[in-house]
A = this chain, B = another copy of it.
Amino acid sequence: MSLVQERWDELADIKRVLAIRDWFPATSGNLAIKVNHDPLTFLVTASGKDKTKESREDFLEVDQFGQSLYDTHLKPSAETLLHVEIFNKTDAGCSLHVHTIDNNVISELYADKGEIVFQGQEIIKAYGLWEEDASFTIPIIPNYAHIPTLANEFSKHVSAAAGAVLIRNHGITAWGRNALEAKKYLEASEFLFSYHVKLLSLKALVR
């Protein structure tokens, strides 16, 4: 199996599992996986598709500027530039962007603080943090409609090969060295968002 096919299958696996959770409402969300390092090429979701379906047109291969490598009627997802930032600045191998109810709620509740900090949760180990008092911070940035401006703001928070950034009232982008790590960062973040939302209202009510 060719390298590009191998990467395609890894990304298709993730797409299938996240689609079952309804993490791609209204054709939203986009996924990217690196194929070659130098020069950089990566597979990214084609724009405007219903991600509960599977086809040979789900992804297309693009270069370090997010432009398709070949002539095609497919367009890369509008937010491909965010994945470009990640792959160009770090050793990340996979990057996932999804809209969920709870990541939108958290992004709105903590927008003024510009971040949300998680501490004292076992699941933080998924971020590679094993100390008892470890904390993990997820930055929250404004949702600029102008994608290059958004990519620029986003880029300020991209320095490690794995990480997560919330865009206000929009969604999360989580990335990692490979598909497994990117998915792990994504799922740990969503777990923490859902936990936090639920605990917040309960503590307000019962204490």
Contact = CB atoms under 8 A, between A and B. Distances in A.
B27 A195 contact: no
B21 A22 contact: yes
Interface stretch (A63-71, A87-95, A116-124, A154-162): A116-124
Chain A interface category by residue count: 35 or more
A57 interface: no
B26 A187 contact: yes
**Secondary structure class of chain A's binding surface, majority of residues:** helix
B123 A199 contact: no
Interface of A: 13, 17, 21-22, 25-28, 48, 50, 52-53, 99, 101-102, 104-105, 108-109, 120-123, 126, 130-132, 143-145, 167, 169-171, 180, 183-185, 187-188, 190-191, 194-195, 197-206
Contacts of A104: 121, 195
**List of 9 A-B pairs having minimum Cβ-Cβ separation, nearest first:** A122-B170, A26-B126, A26-B188, A204-B205, A132-B145, A26-B187, A25-B191, A25-B187, A26-B184
